[in-house]
Amino acid sequence: MMNTALNPITITAYRWVPQLARGLVRDLRVRWALEEAGLPYTVQFCWPPSDQASTEYRQWQPFGQVPAYARDGLELFESGAIVLHIAEQSESLMPTDAAGRARVRTWLFAALNSIEPPVQELAGIDLFHRGEAWTQQRRPQVEEFAKRRLSALSAWLGEREYLVEGRFTAADLLMITVLQILRHTDLVAQYPALKAYCERCEARPAFQKALRDQLADFVEQPPAA
Amino acid sequence: MMNTALNPITITAYRWVPQLARGLVRDLRVRWALEEAGLPYTVQFCWPPSDQASTEYRQWQPFGQVPAYARDGLELFESGAIVLHIAEQSESLMPTDAAGRARVRTWLFAALNSIEPPVQELAGIDLFHRGEAWTQQRRPQVEEFAKRRLSALSAWLGEREYLVEGRFTAADLLMITVLQILRHTDLVAQYPALKAYCERCEARPAFQKALRDQLADFVEQPPAA
């Protein structure tokens, strides 16, 4: 690739996922960040699904997932790393002082490493393992763990409108997309501070546009591979 | 706190954990990073355990865990965020060019978000839920998932000595501490490239010192609270 600043950003996404996953695929995080930052991008679809397992794609995304990111020869993956990379280039997602940036990064990791693990485990049980015998004993343990973490998050938020720095940042962006994984439950609604926080962030035009664009890119039925 | 550059770094750690957790508590990641960077630090112990639930500690670490970090009035938590913060100040953990830093961050997130979730779920089953009926059906699923990820990681490593940039970075530091969570299994040993990679990184004097210091800080028996 040519190394000029004018090359566009490319991200990868899926052409089709089941309804239960639409709006949750991780490229939404990157699309939202790019909308907040006002950066245009093009989407490269992983299709047919065998593309994800190809040697070529694994050189870019070694785990065969989306999203991956490329611009001017720089190839990245991991939604957290890509959102942080975009945020470092845009004051709309991060303050410019070193201490403020470190605090935003702290909450960005908290979203992905303190909240997402129990949230994702619970969603995995409900969406992908429903009806398996083991889930009857395990699900209450995971829900209890998730509620402990949501309770601590809600206590931190309290009267705060955003997680940190008194403004919307990349940390909120990731936290919201993590909480959305619980949309099939009433867990977030059990914490009024969390519910209001989600509504506040989801009302942002950049989120609405990113979600619309992700949903519009899906085809109804998986085409024959 | 006074805002002078001479204030020392403080991190939090536990005074006692059961043997099965010694060497795995996440402050090891921060100690290792500080040793690589040559930065001295002092340890503040969460003791008695009720300290972790205190309002004061929750203002610093909202989930009541370790490690937390403080220096010159800047309070951080999340081992990933703290290691990244230290790495940004030390060429021993990260290159200085923007593209190289972005690639290191990519693999740093991959360690915590693509490898740690299945690894931690497997260790949770083996160390904290052993003997519970549900684990008989669930464990093979989780092991299969963990092996898919380890296989992809091993394929990426191939002939590489380190994950990225041809040198040891903060991404390797975090990846190694994630792989160590599997020490009670032979999973890593099933991939010769992974095993050699772990041995290469664990031989570093900074890791050895950090581990020695963490283990030396534990008391044998939990003192009466």
User: For chain B, percent helix, then strand, then coil, each to nearest 5?
Assistant: 55, 10, 35
Note whether residue B2 is domain-resident.
no
CB B105, CB A84: distance < 8 Å: yes
User: For residue A112, what pLDDT is reported?
Assistant: 98
B101/chain A closest Cα distance in angstroms? 9
Residues A104 and A115 in one domain: yes
Taking CB atoms and an 8 Å limit, are A62 and B153 in contact across chains?
yes
Distance of CA A8 to the CA centre of its chain: 21
Q: Does ipTM top 0.85?
A: yes
Residues in A touching B120 (Cβ below 8 Å): 117
Residue A109: which of B58, B80, B99 has the nearest Cβ? B80
Range of the domain at A196: 98-204
Q: Which among A64, A106, A149 has the least Cβ separation from residue B76?
A: A106
Question: Could you please report the per-residue DSSP string of A124-176?
Answer: HHHHHSTT-THHHHHHHHHHHHHHHHHHHHHHHHTT-SSSSTTS--HHHHHHH
What are the pLDDT digits (tens) for B172-195? Answer: 999 999 999 999 999 999 999 999
Note down pLDDT in tens along chain A; length 225 residues.
444 456 899 999 999 999 999 999 999 999 999 999 999 999 999 877 778 889 999 999 999 999 999 999 999 999 999 999 999 999 999 999 999 999 999 999 999 999 999 999 999 999 999 999 999 999 999 999 999 999 999 999 999 999 999 999 999 999 999 999 999 999 999 999 999 999 999 999 999 999 999 999 999 888 665
Domain identity same for B49 and B114: no
Q: Are residues B79 and B34 in the same domain?
A: yes
Q: Please list every residue in chain A whose beta carbon sits closer than 8 Å to the beta carbon of residue B147.
A: none
Q: What pTM was estimated for this model as a whole?
A: 0.96
Inter-chain CB proximity B84 and A105 less than 8 Å: yes
Indicate which CATH number applies to the domain containing A20.
Answer: 3.40.30.10
Q: Are residues B183 and B211 in the same domain?
A: no
Locate A3 and state its tokens: 């190394």
Going by DSSP bridges, is the β-strand pair A41-46/A9-14 parallel, antiparallel, or unpaired? Answer: parallel
User: Angle at Cα B103 formed by Cα A110 and Cα B199, nearest 5°?
Assistant: 85
For residues B62-86, give the mean pLDDT.
97
Closest by Cα among B95, B91, B55, B88 to B74: B88
Which residues of chain B does A5 touch, with a Cβ-Cβ cutoff of 8 Å? none
Query: Are A58 and B152 within 8 A, CB to CB?
Result: yes
Q: In this structure, is residue B150 part of a structural domain?
A: yes
The answer to whether position A126 is within a domain reads: yes
Residue with tokens 């992974």: B194
Q: Which residues of A touch B53 (CB under 8 A)?
A: none
Question: Quick count: other Cβ atoms within 10 Å of Cβ A143?
Answer: 17
